[in-house]
Amino acid sequence: MSVINVRILGHNENKFLIKVVAVLIALLTITALICGCCSTIPVNQAFSTYAPTLAPPLAPKVLGVGTSVGCLAPDFELTDLNGREVRLSDFQGRPVLLNFWTYCSACKAELPYIQSVYDDCQSMIPNLVVLAVNVSQPADQVKEFVSYYGFTFEFLLDSWATTASDYYVHKIPTTFFIDKNGIIQDLNVGGFSNATAIKQRVVALANQ
Q: Does 30 map to a domain?
A: yes
Q: What is the CATH number of the domain that holds 154?
A: 3.40.30.10
* 103 inside domain: yes
pLDDT tier at 18 (50, 70, 90 boundaries)? low
Whether residues 181 and 81 fall in one domain: yes
Structurally, the chain folds into a number of domains equal to 2
Determine the Cα–Cα distance for residues 75 and 82; give it in Å rounded to an integer.
20
Distance, in Å, from the CA atom of 96 to the CA atom of 83, rounded to the nearest integer, reads 21
Are 98 and 188 within one domain? yes
Same domain, 108 and 189: yes
Whether 18 maps to a domain, the answer reads: yes
Q: Is residue 160 in some structural domain?
A: yes
Report the half-sphere exposure of 98 (CA within 13 A, side-chain side). 32
Do 164 and 81 lie in one domain? The reply is yes
**Distance of alpha carbon 86 from the chain centroid:** 18
Do 192 and 121 sit in the same domain of this protein? yes
Q: Give the range of the structural domain holding residue 15, as residue numbers without chain letter.
A: 1-39
Residue 105 and residue 9 share a domain: no
Are 34 and 84 part of one and the same domain? no
Question: What residues pair up with 100 in beta bridges, in sequence order?
Answer: 133, 174
Confirm whether 48 is domain-assigned: no
pLDDT at 167: 95
- My answer on whether 104 and 3 are in the same domain is no
Of 12-26, 53-67, 142-156, which range is least confident? Answer: 12-26
Q: What is the pLDDT of residues 145-191, one digit of tens each?
A: 999 999 999 999 999 999 999 999 989 999 999 999 999 999 999 99
Task: For residue 17, tell me if it sits in a domain.
Answer: yes
Count CB neighbours of 42 within 10 A: 10
**HEC string for the chain:** CHHHHHHHHHHHHHHHHHHHHHHHHHHHHHHHHHHHHHCCCCCCCCCCCCCCCCCCCCCCCCCCECCCCCCECCCCEEEECCCCEEEHHHHCCCCEEEEEECCCHHHHHHHHHHHHHHHHHHHHCCCCEEEEEEECCCHHHHHHHHHHHCCCCEEEEECCCHHHHHCCCCCCCEEEEECCCCEEEEEEECCCCCHHHHHHHHHHHHCC
Q: Does 30 share its domain with 107?
A: no
Residues 87 and 15 reside in one and the same domain: no
Q: Are residues 117 and 17 in the same domain?
A: no
What mean pLDDT is reported for the chain? 80
Query: Residue 15 above 70 pLDDT?
Result: no
